[in-house]
Amino acid sequence: MSPQVGEELSSTVVVVGGGPSGASCAYWLATRGISVTVVERKHFPRDKTCGDGLTPRAVVQLEAMGLGSDLAARFHRYEGLRAVAFGKSLEIPWPRHPLMPNYGFVARRRELDALVLANAAAHGATVLEAHDATDVELEGARIRAVLARRSDDGATVRLSGRWFVSAEGSNARLARALGAQRDTRQPLGLAIRTYLPSPRADDPWIESALDVRDERGHVMPGYGWVFPVGDGTVNVGFGILTNQGAWRHVNTTTELERFIDSVRERWDLDVAHPVLAKPTGGKLPMGTSITPVAGPNYLFVGDAAATINPFNGEGISYAMETGRLAASLIAHAVRSGHDAPLARYPRLLSQRYGAYYALGRRFVRLISDPRVMAPGVWLAMRGTATMSPVVHAMANLLPPSLESGVRRVGSLLQR
Ligand SMILES: Cc1cc2nc3c(=O)[nH]c(=O)nc-3n(C[C@H](O)[C@H](O)[C@H](O)COP(=O)(O)OP(=O)(O)OC[C@H]3O[C@@H](n4cnc5c(N)ncnc54)[C@H](O)[C@@H]3O)c2cc1C
């Protein structure tokens, strides 16, 4: 069907993408009484390839949006991470932290994302599902409108606004068209997952295997995971960190099959009845490796700004944190009537994540070498006393007292 000129829609802010970053941005704008439209390509609920693991960092954001009781009622709560390697298994509870809860959830993204987006709509955001944003209309360097193609009749809808947010995820077409580029010297994650029935689907720990080996027997810079979903199935996946070409050759489908074989017995996995026809995978843009992340009247959030944590591949929490940060800057812009507050976004991202992610990048470079990865994991796996701080630091959950030390080291590296 050839696109026709369709209707016009106007709001103060237009957010492209209704995943956690876009939906949380819209929620925080709408609760401030700012008119906001979310344009989302898919019909929700929709599947999103993910491990479905919510750490305390993600939970705190969801609770702030009033979704605490929904999380508790609908998703599987867990206590921490079981690290498995070199024949050992260590259960590491999430820490007691002054700002975060000490539990997480495993939430299928199909349901979680629909919940977060519906919450934004319930608080006043306009949500246009099944509208694919295909282009932007520019006036100089400023965006004047987003053009979206409605999937049921192919009509073009023009969404005009004063401020714009790209929350398009890892394949951010509009952000790229606006000049966003990933620094290819920085690490990139590749991951794949499937769902399998297991009698242990209510296990109180998410599990990561830290000594997954390639066909030559080298321990790879990544991990295999089994995350219990609580609905009779577990999310089983494999993720690897590539760095300047290193480990790029790894076939994640083959590695996932090998990983499933290795945990099949322990988790009693029913491999004959997978929930999905086949596993699906995706890219994890990380470490704020995308620039620029802001233009005169627009911002990029979540995966579109590569905000995934390079230490553990977690992205949902950072997507919601940056969605919220973008909303607060746009709210300043609305109040003042000019764009200037948006210009602070790159600096604020750097202040929040720069030092920690600089350490993360150095970490990825180190563990890309199997001669470092294997003995490093072996040393950390000596006991919970050595493994707990490692797991907590990698999940960005250190207490503020230790966090400042880590940040100081990170700042030195950054410089
Ligand atoms: C295999 C895998 C496992 C992972 N496991 C975890 C995990 O366990 N825990 C964790 O915290 N993170 C995990 N991540 C990372 C996490 O999935 C992302 O960081 C997170 O989804 C980012 O949220 P987002 O809102 O930025 O983007 P997304 O969740 O990708 O949402 C983007 C939305 O924008 C829509 N969209 C895109 N382009 C357009 C357009 N042009 N017009 C209209 N709509 C558009 C898409 O349809 C989508 O709904 C994993 C990632 C992968 C690939």
- Over range 336-344, report the average pLDDT: 97
Residue nearest to atom 40 of ligand 1 (CA): 133
Q: Which domains does the chain have, with CATH numbers?
A: 4-49+109-184+286-356 (3.50.50.60)
Whether 402 shows a pLDDT value over 80: the answer reads no
Q: Is ligand 1 within 6 A of the CB of residue 169?
A: yes
- Over range 346-373, report the average pLDDT: 92
DSSP state of 128: E
Whether 5 shows a pLDDT value over 60: the answer reads no
- Over range 274-302, report the average pLDDT: 97
- Over range 320-328, report the average pLDDT: 98
Q: Contact at 8 Å (CB) between 20 and 320?
A: yes
C-alpha dihedral over 408, 346, 17, 275, to 10 degrees?
A: -20
- CA 185 centroid distance within chain: 20
DSSP state of 192: E
Average pLDDT over the chain reads: 94
Counting from 1 in the atom list of ligand 1, the atom nearest the Cα of 52 is 8
Instruction: Kindly state the tokens that stand for 92.
Output: 């590491």
Q: Is ligand 1 within 6 A of the CB of residue 407?
A: no
Counting from 1 in the atom list of ligand 1, the atom nearest the Cα of 280 is 1
Q: Is ligand 1 within 6 A of the CB of residue 207?
A: no
Is the preceding peptide bond at 292 cis, omega within 30 degrees of 0? yes
| Ligand 1 centroid from CA 181, angstroms | 18
Q: Is ligand 1 within 6 A of the CB of residue 321?
A: no
Instruction: Kindly state the tokens that stand for 269.
Output: 């996995």
DSSP codes joined into one string, 269-303:
--TTS-SSSS-EEEEEEBTT-EE--EETTEEE-GG
Q: Contact at 8 Å (CB) between 317 and 224?
A: no
- pLDDT number for residue 3: 42
Q: Is ligand 1 within 6 A of the CB of residue 60?
A: no
Q: What is the pLDDT of residues 101-138, one digit of tens each?
A: 999 999 999 999 999 999 999 999 999 999 999 999 99
Q: In which band, very low, low, confident or very high, does the pLDDT at 413 lie, cut at 50, 70 and 90?
A: low
Whether 339 shows a pLDDT value over 70: the answer reads yes
Whether 408 shows a pLDDT value over 80: the answer reads no
| Ligand 1 centroid from CA 236, angstroms | 18
Q: In which band, very low, low, confident or very high, does the pLDDT at 415 lie, cut at 50, 70 and 90?
A: low
Q: Is ligand 1 within 6 A of the CB of residue 51?
A: yes
- Integer-rounded Cα Rg, in Å, for the chain is 21
- pLDDT number for residue 247: 87
| Ligand 1 centroid from CA 167, angstroms | 9
Whether 189 shows a pLDDT value over 70: the answer reads yes
Instruction: Kindly state the tokens that stand for 4.
Output: 């026709």
| Ligand 1 centroid from CA 346, angstroms | 21
Q: In whole angstroms, give the CA distance from residue 179 to residue 113.
A: 28
pTM score, two decimals? 0.96
